């Protein structure tokens, strides 16, 4: 046990009951994996909010994106005894060949003066848009590059899940850049600055049919953050260890004197999610200098072990302040929590 | 049956026996899926040559890329009764945790004065290079853009298979551009010209763990052909049809008066591979104007039905000449064949 996280004393800091449903008739089922950033002196989280319709006796209910509604959302009810309704998968409803989801994720801002006590916006900040995001948008990283914030998130649609990108300068007006990495891919974060004359991103292709490769962390280069090439794997899952089944990047890497420090998640075949660190060369981030042998944080508290999906710690949002790095994380796919680390202490574990 | 291909009368035009092994001790097992292009008045194929070591009694033999050998290749023999050798998968040998392949593909040029009779080079033109191509390079598309030829191929390595790119102007000197699309991805072809101010490519992400999406044809944009973004699905597999399980682009689309004509492959769950056509908008190739309801070519001859892997027609190389388009194709994963189509006749099937 080498958990070196200092958890916030009043974790969890946000619970589904703290979040108002997007429209009447919905229930906020889970809060998940927030992006984090500072803007105009405040700390912000960009929460993933998973909602479902309230139960209705005799009906199976689904939530769908619908640009024709003022709210952008629509609830559908299907009679359970209708022979053309397929309910065999609890996550979805298939009706006349079309698939609807029972829960749907959007992104919503929460703001704080102190980085600990957050107020959640009353409405969604960003909903999925178009068929590539028809099943929602999830797990958004927020990377500030100059005055612009780049949002990279999992875009989920009928054709698979890939990485979508949106940018904003003022958090009022948003520019959509489409899918920057094709399916199956997620866990993408941009670096906050150019290295040499190139931008870099970490991402996580998913193991495809055929079984070659795995759920590994890759790095890619770009001239403009919109178009990506020269993809290389930098971290595989490691059989027998805490990150044996899959690994994925968290938030934008932190520049330290010893290299780019990336706090990433690793999971076992049993889906126990812990956090570890990768240290990448400052001038060539395709080179891995060091990697955690043991997790720097693992599910130990009640709220990390018991929840919607237990024993999960997942981060995609950090805020830096000198030697302190605050990690915001989703715990057991239900609540949002915070913990601080000393960068020096993390680097010490990597020696 | 709407097969409108005019097959070459002396198909197959190339057989494994026509190809000299790269080094002594190897057997050319299969010829597969050639790219095709013209250069200095000749027609060229860039063959995928799959080789394996000659059998050796009591040993399992593997072929590996080795830059320390003059040939770039190395044969390894593992005693079958060695307890640390795992032979459970006939395609590979696992020895002390490292995987070796029993067959390995490289790319090799064949040239012709008439487009029918080809002479195959004595040595490989391109071998896989580095760990991303340690398991070979396959199914290369060749797209001429001005005086430069861009090669997009399946790069197969331990971290999965993605799309590699190499460019050349003279077919003597080659520039490697790394992996332009991350795993799991294959069947990538560039368009031969810019549309507006962007380059375009078709590609084929593979269905990942989780089951969302499928083996569909996607299109992407690029400012420079090296970095890709704005990915969109343009053609799904179609349940119950000839292309029910997977689809993938062939060679660079042909510009016609009615749109970009792409001859693609589709396969059923039984792995029967046929060819069909997609017609894409000339000014916005993300728009599909028409698609073959039935194949324009399907495995019917003996050499298409019987071979290494039967009932397979797969093309990634075409040569255009007025209304005629010559399709070079791999038949039953064993031999290389040719057929001509009338572009007008293909377009007629799409009305």
pLDDT digits (tens, 9 = 90+) for A151-186: 999 999 999 999 999 999 999 999 999 999 999 999
Distance CA B89, CA A95 (A): 41
- pLDDT tens digit sequence for B121-145: 999 999 999 999 999 999 999 999 9
Mean pLDDT of A218-233: 98
Distance CA B80, CA A292 (A): 38
**Cβ contact B206–A209 (<8 Å):** yes
Q: What are the percentages of helix, strand and coil residues in chain A, rounded to 5?
A: 5, 55, 40
Q: Can you give the pLDDT at residue A212?
A: 85
Distance CA B345, CA B23 (A): 45
SS3 of A220-233: the string is: EEECCCCCEEEEEE
Q: Can you give the pLDDT at residue B211?
A: 73
Smallest CA-to-CA distance from B166 within B130, B123, B204 is with B130
**Cβ contact A162–B229 (<8 Å):** no
Q: Number of CB pairs < 8 Å for A and B?
A: 159
Using the Cα atoms of residue B102, residue B106, residue B109 and residue B114 in order, give the sign of their dihedral.
positive
Which of A201, A233, A269 to mutate to test binding with chain B, by most B CBs within 10 Å of its CB? A233
- pLDDT tens digit sequence for A75-120: 999 999 999 999 988 888 999 888 888 899 999 999 999 999 999 9
Smallest CA-to-CA distance from A183 within A147, A213, A150, A159 is with A159
Which of A94, A160, A202 to mutate to test binding with chain B, by most B CBs within 10 Å of its CB? A160
B325: distance to nearest CA of chain A, Å? 31
Which of B184, B211, B267 to mutate to test binding with chain A, by most A CBs within 10 Å of its CB? B184
Structure-token pair, residue B331: 């038949």
Q: Can you give the pLDDT at residue A99?
A: 86
Note whether A208 contacts B: Cβ–Cβ < 8 A. yes
A209: distance to nearest CA of chain B, Å? 6
The order of strands in the sheet holding A73-79 is A73-79, A59-65, A98-101, A92-95, A85-86
Chain A hits for B221, CB-CB cut-off 8 Å, are 227
Q: Can you give the pLDDT at residue B1?
A: 58
Whole-model pTM: value is 0.96
- pLDDT tens digit sequence for A118-152: 999 999 999 999 999 999 999 999 999 999 999 99
Note whether A204 contacts B: Cβ–Cβ < 8 A. no
Q: Can you give the pLDDT at residue A1?
A: 58
Which of A164, A231, A236, A245 to mutate to test binding with chain B, by most B CBs within 10 Å of its CB? A231
Task: Nearest by CB to B229, from A215, A227, A230: name it.
Answer: A227
Q: Which residues neighbour B239 within 8 Å (Cβ) at sequence distance 6 or greater? A: none
- pLDDT tens digit sequence for A289-327: 999 999 999 999 999 999 999 999 999 999 999 999 999
**Cβ contact A227–B231 (<8 Å):** no
Note whether A162 contacts B: Cβ–Cβ < 8 A. yes
Q: How far apart are the first and last CA of chain B?
A: 17
Smallest CA-to-CA distance from B12 within B342, B341, B334 is with B334
- What is this model's ipTM? 0.96
**Cβ contact A224–B223 (<8 Å):** yes
Structure-token pair, residue B144: 């001429």
Distance CA B324, CA B137 (A): 30
Cβ atoms of A273 and A333 closer than 8 Å: no
Note whether B70 contacts A: Cβ–Cβ < 8 A. no
Task: Nearest by CB to A208, from B132, B158, B184: name it.
Answer: B184
Distances (CA, A) of A50 to A92, A143, A198, A334: 14, 23, 35, 9
Mean pLDDT of A38-61: 96
Mean pLDDT of A51-72: 94
Question: B36 has which bridge partners?
Answer: B45
Q: Can you give the pLDDT at residue B97?
A: 81
**Residue entry with tokens 């909010």:** A49
Mean pLDDT of A7-23: 97
Q: Can you give the pLDDT at residue A107?
A: 98
B300: distance to nearest CA of chain A, Å? 28
Residues 98-157 of A with CB under 8 A from B: 132, 135, 156-157
Q: Can you give the pLDDT at residue B9?
A: 97
Note whether A229 contacts B: Cβ–Cβ < 8 A. yes
Q: Is B72 helix (H, G, I), strand (E, B) or coil?
A: coil
User: Which chain A residue has its CA at the smallest distance from B180's CA?
Assistant: A229
Distances (CA, A) of B189 to A279, B107, B129, B236: 36, 16, 21, 17
Q: Can you give the pLDDT at residue A211?
A: 73
Mean pLDDT, all residues of chain A: 96
Q: Is A11 helix (H, G, I), strand (E, B) or coil?
A: coil
A222: distance to nearest CA of chain B, Å? 6
Note whether B207 contacts A: Cβ–Cβ < 8 A. yes
**Cβ contact B160–A228 (<8 Å):** no
Which of A181, A208, A237, A239 to mutate to test binding with chain B, by most B CBs within 10 Å of its CB? A208
Task: Nearest by CB to B182, from A210, A218, A236: name it.
Answer: A218
Query: Exposed (0-12), middle (13-18) or buried (19+): which is B123, by Cβ within 10 Å?
Result: middle
Chain B hits for A206, CB-CB cut-off 8 Å, are 184, 208-210
Task: Nearest by CB to A212, from B161, B182, B209: name it.
Answer: B161
State which residues of chain B have pLDDT below 50: none
- A34-63 burial by CB neighbour count: b if 16+ within 10 A, else e? bbbbebeeebbbbbbbbbbbeeeeebbbbb
């Amino acid at each position: 046990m080498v958990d070196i996280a200092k958890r916030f004393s009043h974790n969890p800091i946000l619970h589904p009951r703290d979040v108002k449903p997007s429209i009447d008739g919905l229930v906020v089922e889970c809060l998940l994996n927030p992006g984090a950033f500072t803007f105009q002196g405040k700390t912000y989280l960009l929460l993933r909010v998973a909602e479902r319709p309230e139960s209705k006796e005799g009906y199976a209910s689904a939530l769908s994106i619908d640009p024709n509604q003022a709210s952008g959302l629509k609830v559908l009810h299907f009679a359970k005894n209708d022979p053309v309704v397929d309910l065999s998968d609890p996550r979805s409803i298939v009706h006349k060949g079309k698939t609807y989801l029972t829960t749907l994720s959007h992104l919503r801002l929460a703001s704080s003066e102190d980085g600990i006590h957050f107020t959640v916006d009353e409405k969604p900040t960003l909903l999925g848009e178009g068929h590539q995001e028809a099943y929602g948008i999830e797990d958004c990283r927020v990377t500030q590059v100059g005055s612009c914030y780049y949002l990279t998130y999992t875009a989920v649609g009928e054709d698979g899940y890939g990485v979508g990108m949106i940018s904003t300068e003022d958090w009022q007006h948003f520019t959509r850049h489409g899918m920057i990495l094709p399916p199956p891919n997620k866990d993408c974060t941009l670096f906050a600055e150019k290295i040499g004359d190139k931008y870099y991103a970490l991402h996580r292709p998913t193991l495809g049919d055929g079984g070659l490769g795995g759920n590994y962390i890759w790095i890619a280069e770009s001239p403009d953050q919109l178009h990506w090439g020269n993809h290389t794997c930098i971290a595989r899952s490691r059989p027998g260890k805490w990150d044996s089944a899959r690994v994925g990047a968290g938030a934008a890497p932190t520049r330290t004197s010893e290299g780019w420090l990336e706090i990433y998640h690793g999971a076992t075949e049993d889906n126990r999610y812990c956090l570890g660190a990768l240290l990448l060369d400052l001038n060539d981030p395709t080179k891995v200098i060091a990697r955690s042998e043991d997790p720097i944080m693992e599910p130990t508290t009640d709220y990390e072990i018991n929840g919607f999906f237990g024993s999960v710690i997942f981060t995609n949002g950090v805020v830096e302040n000198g030697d302190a790095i605050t990690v915001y994380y989703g715990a057991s796919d239900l609540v949002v929590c915070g913990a601080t680390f000393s960068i020096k202490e993390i680097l010490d574990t990597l020696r």
